[in-house]
Amino acid sequence: MATRSANILFDCGRGVVLRLAGAGLLPIMVSGVVLTHLHSDHVCDLNDLITTHWVMSTTPTALRIVGPVGTKAFVQATLAAMATDIGYRIGHHDDLREGPLLDVVEVHPGETFAIGVQEILAGATDHRPVEPTLAYRVGEDEQSVVIAGDGVPCASLDELVRGASAYVQTVIREDLVKLVPSARLQDILDYHSTVGQAAATAQRAGVKALVLTHYVPAPVPGSEQEWRDLASGFDGIVVVGSDLTSLDLATMAVG
């Protein structure tokens, strides 16, 4: 029987290979990487994933990397930065002489693509002045999830999220950020969703679960209910999870 499973990594920020290990996955088990945008905190460990995927491959296995326009140039620059290391590894292991095998695809809003057997739809997000930026819808109606990167609510995100089962959104605590006397920190408020904005998007879309992630600031232990309270405009399940939190779309069980 054909399997419907694929291990898809959305964004590739710091420590991602360690987190994969925590999830019981080796880099070679990643079916593909999908990038929402090229801010450093979303791509800074792509080099580690490319390298470890490559050196763990016992047969030539392409790593599919999908992202917005600019992804190809970023991957080329990453490979250039890693050229010394790549040379060392080829010098030591003759069977690695072809170098990392990558399949890099740039997508635009409204386009679909596949990672393994999984079809994924891209939609535009608003994270200006960072452009272009994308969110992604994975799966079919009853078991679909939208992974949004950074950004404020917008019509195209609403359209992508509408009727999905779960919506994963990066969020900031406006009330806490405003307490910090730093103009540069205040600047982040105008291009990230607050918890309340994420809740409003989830409510308009009619999703079953809102999954908060990429918190600013990181929730201190015991403050999870404060985050949920800020999302009170949403009637469904609000998941305030730490790294490696899981959500079963069939049962909506959080692990």
Residues that bind Zn ion (CB under 5 A): 39, 41, 150
Q: Tell me the closest approach of the beta carbon of residue 84 to Zn ion, in angstroms.
A: 29
Q: Cα separations (Å) of 252 from 94, 107, 166, 237, 248?
A: 48, 30, 9, 8, 5
Residue 30 CB, nearest distance to Zn ion (Å)?
20
Minimal distance, residue 3 CB to Zn ion, in Å: 32
Pairing state between β 247-248 and 253-254: antiparallel
**Contact partners, residue 187, CB within 8 Å, separation at least 6:** none
Residues 6+ apart with CB under 8 A from 247: 166, 209, 211, 239, 253, 254, 255
41 is annotated as an active-site residue: yes
Locate 8 and state its tokens. Answer: 């898809």
Judged by CB, which is closer to Zn ion: 150, or 174?
A: 150
Q: Compute how many other C-beta atoms are within 10 angstroms of the C-beta atom of residue 225.
A: 10
Strands 253-254 and 166-172, bridge-based pairing: unpaired
Least Cβ distance, residue 188 to Zn ion (angstroms):
9
Active-site hit among 11, 41, 45, 103: 41
Q: Which is nearer to Zn ion, 73 or 117 (CB)?
A: 73
Helix (H, G, I), strand (E, B) or coil at 41: helix
Catalytic residues, which ones? 41
